[in-house]
């Protein structure tokens, strides 16, 4: 069930520069339309979001359908994002895809709200166009974007249906550092974000 007001997504953030003003803990207000937008635009430059015409419109429908199918705004005293019964009955691979999708969308919302990132672009898709250079190895972060105040942000996004493990945290820490320069500039901020359901509300850790 969706409400007119926002759900409050609990975030835990550590090791951000004091200059960013990112609080260690907060309840981030997220409206259904905020999440719907992020589900569609995350990873794409604005000029690529609708360039395929009707196919892009169908893709929008496909991505946004995640909300009514799998998510609910709880009616607890503090409104949270929870899974529908259908989402809880998905098989492990389907749950993994849902978690992956939500992880990317919430990474975008956090970057916009807390770090003033205009939009995120997929590293794999735009690396050549934006002259990205990388650390040795095959691992890559997921996203990069430019802040409205200048400078670039790099992000690694994960999603899990259960608790976050030490192994996952270590992998995220490594991947966020894989982008060395963007258009000749060293990123100002590199962070990793993991979204998971915590008994049972959605809760990002960054």
Q: Where are the domains of the chain?
A: 7-14+27-205
* Three-class DSSP category at 76: coil
pLDDT at 199: 63
Q: Which pair of tokens denotes residue 126?
A: 């735009």
DSSP-assigned states of every residue in 139-161: ---SEEEEBTTSSEEEEEEEEES
- Residues 74 and 1: their CA atoms lie apart, in Å, by 7
CA distances from 47 to 43, 50, 131 (A): 12, 7, 18
Sign of CA dihedral 93, 98, 100, 103: negative
- Residues 156 and 199: their CA atoms lie apart, in Å, by 24
pLDDT at 179: 97
Write out the chain's pLDDT in tens, 206 residues: 456 689 999 899 988 888 899 999 999 999 999 999 999 999 999 999 999 999 999 999 999 999 999 999 887 778 899 999 999 999 999 999 999 999 999 999 999 999 999 999 999 999 999 999 999 998 999 999 999 999 999 999 999 877 788 888 888 889 999 999 999 999 999 999 999 887 656 656 66
Tell me which DSSP letter residue 183 carries: T
User: Largest Cα–Cα distance of the chain, in whole Å?
Assistant: 49
- Residues 23 and 181: their CA atoms lie apart, in Å, by 27
- Determine if the pTM surpasses 0.85: yes
Chain position carrying tokens 């992020």: 38
| Angle, vertex CA 12, rays to CA 10 and CA 16, nearest 5 | 135
pLDDT at 201: 63
Pairing of strands 202-205, 189-197: antiparallel
Q: Which pair of tokens denotes residue 103?
A: 């992880």
């Amino acid at each position: 069930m969706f409400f007119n007001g926002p759900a409050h997504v609990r975030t835990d953030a550590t090791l951000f520069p004091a200059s960013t003003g990112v609080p260690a803990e907060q309840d981030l207000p997220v409206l259904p339309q905020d999440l719907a937008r992020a589900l569609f635009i995350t990873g794409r430059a604005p000029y690529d979001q609708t360039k395929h015409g009707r196919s892009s419109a169908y893709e929008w429908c496909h991505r946004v359908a995640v909300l009514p199918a799998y998510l609910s705004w709880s009616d607890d005293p503090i409104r949270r994002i929870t899974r529908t019964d259908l989402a809880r009955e998905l098989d492990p691979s389907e749950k993994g895809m849902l978690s992956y999708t939500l992880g990317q969308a919430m990474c975008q919302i956090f970057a916009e709200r807390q770090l003033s990132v205009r939009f995120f672009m997929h590293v794999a898709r735009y690396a050549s166009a934006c002259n990205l250079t990388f650390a040795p190895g095959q691992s890559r972060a997921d996203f990069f974007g430019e802040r409205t105040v200048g400078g670039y942000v790099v992000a690694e996004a994960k999603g899990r249906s259960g608790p976050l493990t030490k192994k996952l945290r270590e992998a995220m820490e490594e991947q966020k550092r894989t982008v060395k320069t963007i258009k000749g500039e060293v990123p100002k901020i590199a962070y990793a974000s993991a979204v998971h359901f915590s008994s049972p509300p959605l809760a990002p850790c960054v």
